[in-house]
Amino acid sequence: MFATAVVLFLPLGSVTLCLINTAGGGAWLGHVVGLLLAVAIHAAILLHARRKLLRFELNGGKHD
């Protein structure tokens, strides 16, 4: 799954970012803030899913 992000999404995202910036559609600071927020949101989703999985396993496979 990580390889898909490296091979597809990072190059495509970089090209898109450069095209938007060249067209005058945004400042680098706005893009950096957006990227940091997206990474933070994805990290929060991963932590939440791991907590739920751990709770599920500790309950013997029973859902809350």
Instruction: Find the domain containing 24 and state its range.
Output: 2-58
Q: Would you say residue 26 lies in a domain?
A: yes
Sign of the dihedral through C-alpha 50, 54, 60, 64: negative
Domains identified in the chain, total number? 1
Q: Would you say residue 43 lies in a domain?
A: yes
Q: What's the Cα-to-Cα distance from 28 to each of 20, 34, 58, rounded to whole Å?
A: 10, 10, 45
Q: What is the pLDDT of residue 64?
A: 63
Q: What is the pLDDT of residue 41?
A: 93
The pTM for the full model equals 0.60
Q: What is the pLDDT along the chain (64 residues), one digit of tens a residue?
A: 567 777 888 888 888 888 888 888 777 788 788 889 988 998 999 999 999 999 988 888 777 6
